[in-house]
Amino acid sequence: MDFSDLPADPSQLRRAVLKEIVGLAGLVMADPQRWHLPGPPARGPLPVGHLHPVPELFVQFAGATTLVAPGGALPLAAGQVLVVPPRLVHQEFPAASFANLIVKCDEHRCRYHLRYRRSGGEPCITVSDELHVPEVAALGGHLDQACHWRGNSDASVPGQESCKQAIGALLGVALLDLATACGRALAGSDPEQADDPVARCRAIVSAHAGDPDLSPSGIAKHCGCTTDHLTRQMRAAEGLGLAAYLRRERLRLAARLLGRPGWSVAEAARAAGFRDPGYFSRCWRLAHGKPPGAMGEMQAATRSTAVKR
């Protein structure tokens, strides 16, 4: 597929992406040079960057992207895939021209988007979908297992070479899971929903709430309308303006993360798209009437009580 000339029709574009994913799956299984999987994050102060609570899959279709993490820089070339382990703080630096698919799975849903940039232009998101199909659970499970093997290869798979082969096979199967899920969703897609700015806004925020660069103006641009127009649309549909809706969804994401064992307030804030922990705390207090640390303490006490019983 020539990503310098993307199809304008969303259905045609999704079919083209689907074909690319299927073609890449076999290559990833056969060639360990086709995939990258950094080691798990080290504990300590959070470096500059962002993180996610689940594995993040990058499929590089064209151009290049460089991932920078505490372990160093990792270049990703066209025709390669990369899995970012959960909670690994990282930054992404795409080339002047690029196209990649970014996929995350959690809670039996898969969110993905196609991001690209033509030389001299701004990065654009041209497809942003959320899938709720049976294959999503298998896809998320395979990505989780690959990260587990990468972090515990001695205990999980005998021999480093065997570990590489096993991870490559898992990632290839994960790509086939993704292709099946996309194909199933494409068969049942609603073309009218793709033109609905409110539905598109919900999908974008659901997929990218954890991205600190996501802004009301950027969402409106991806929805093909002005910020003021989308704000009025969201207020009519959600009872909140665009900025308030984005903030609410980020706080909901942070609440889910704080309910998990081992998540600090700083990690949850960063993973929910808040660069400034002080601003996050102020927003949280405004919404809940207490500091965010209180929720983690309450969850920990609840778990402790359940164990004692």
Instruction: Let me know if residue 3 belongs to a domain.
Output: no
Per-residue pLDDT for 157 more than 50?
A: no
Tokens of 66: 């460089």
CB-based contact 111:129 (threshold 8 Å) = yes
Per-residue pLDDT for 123 more than 90?
A: no
Per-residue pLDDT for 138 more than 70?
A: yes
Other CB atoms within 10 A of residue 163 CB: 17
Q: What CA–CA distance (Å, rounded) separates 302 from 235?
A: 36
pLDDT score recorded for residue 305: 44
pLDDT in tens, 10-46: 778 888 888 999 999 999 999 999 999 998 887 777 7
pLDDT in tens, 46-62: 788 899 999 999 999 99
User: What domain range is 257 assigned to?
Assistant: 194-308
One domain for residues 103 and 160: yes
One domain for residues 182 and 199: no
Sequence-separated contacts (24+) of 46-50 with Cβ below 8 Å: 46/89, 46/266, 46/267, 46/270, 47/89, 48/89, 48/91, 49/89, 49/90, 49/91, 50/89, 50/90, 50/91, 50/210, 50/211, 50/212, 50/270, 50/271, 50/273
Per-residue pLDDT for 301 more than 60?
A: no
pLDDT score recorded for residue 31: 93
Exposed/middle/buried for 232, CB within 10 Å: 0-12, 13-18, 19+?
middle
pLDDT score recorded for residue 270: 94
Instruction: Let me know if residue 293 belongs to a domain.
Output: yes
**Final residue of a structural domain among 174, 189, 204:** 189
One domain for residues 185 and 207: no
* CA angle, residues 207, 209, 213, in degrees to nearest 5: 110
Q: What CA–CA distance (Å, rounded) separates 130 from 152?
A: 31
CB-based contact 46:270 (threshold 8 Å) = yes
pLDDT score recorded for residue 232: 96
Q: What are phi and psi of 130, to 5 degrees?
A: -125, 125
pLDDT score recorded for residue 193: 55
One domain for residues 183 and 205: no
Q: What CA–CA distance (Å, rounded) separates 118 from 138?
A: 34
Instruction: Let me know if residue 4 belongs to a domain.
Output: no
One domain for residues 182 and 204: no
- pLDDT-wise least confident of 150-159, 228-237, 272-281: 150-159
Q: What CA–CA distance (Å, rounded) separates 305 from 309?
A: 6
pLDDT score recorded for residue 248: 97
pLDDT score recorded for residue 141: 92
One domain for residues 227 and 296: yes
pLDDT band per the 50, 70, 90 thresholds, residue 106: confident
pLDDT score recorded for residue 2: 62
pLDDT score recorded for residue 111: 87
- pLDDT-wise least confident of 56-65, 83-92, 268-277, 290-299: 290-299
Residues 6+ positions from 84 with CB-CB distance below 8 Å: 38, 52, 55, 56, 57, 58, 67, 69, 90
CB-based contact 118:128 (threshold 8 Å) = no
Helix (H, G, I), strand (E, B) or coil at 59: strand
pLDDT band per the 50, 70, 90 thresholds, residue 296: low
Beta strands in 194-243 (DSSP E): none
Torsion of CA 77, 99, 124, 200, to 10 degrees: -120
Average pLDDT, the chain: 85
**Final residue of a structural domain among 138, 167, 189:** 189
Q: State mean pLDDT over 77-90.
A: 94
Per-residue pLDDT for 159 more than 60?
A: no
pLDDT band per the 50, 70, 90 thresholds, residue 102: very high
pLDDT in tens, 191-224: 555 568 898 899 889 888 988 989 999 899 888 8
- Write the single-letter amino acid at 170: L
One domain for residues 114 and 51: yes
Per-residue pLDDT for 298 more than 60?
A: no
Instruction: Let me know if residue 85 belongs to a domain.
Output: yes
One domain for residues 16 and 148: yes
Question: Is the pLDDT higher at 264 or at 124?
Answer: 264
Question: Is the pLDDT higher at 308 or at 88?
Answer: 88
One domain for residues 179 and 68: yes
Helix (H, G, I), strand (E, B) or coil at 142: helix
One domain for residues 154 and 217: no
Instruction: Let me know if residue 254 belongs to a domain.
Output: yes
Q: State mean pLDDT over 89-108.
A: 89
One domain for residues 72 and 179: yes
